[in-house]
Structure 1
Amino acid sequence: MAQEHGAGTGSVRVDSWIWCVRLTKSRSLAATACRAGHVRVNGERVKPAQTVKVGDEVRLFHAGRERVVVVAELLLKRVGPPLAAKAYVDNSPPPPPKEDALALGVRDRGTGRPTKRERRDLERLHGQRRG
Structure 2
Amino acid sequence: MNISNINKKNNDEYVYNLLQNVGIDSEKANRKILNLSGGEQQRIGIARALAHNPDIIIADEPTGNLDNETEEKIMEILLSLAHDHNKCVIIVTHSKKVCTYLDEIWGLKSGKLLFIKDQNTKLDADEKS
TM-score, structure 1 length as denominator? 0.26
TM-score normalised to the size of structure 2? 0.27
Higher relative CO (CA 8 A, sep ≥ 6), structure 1 or 2?
1
Task: Identify the structure with the greater helix proportion.
Answer: 2
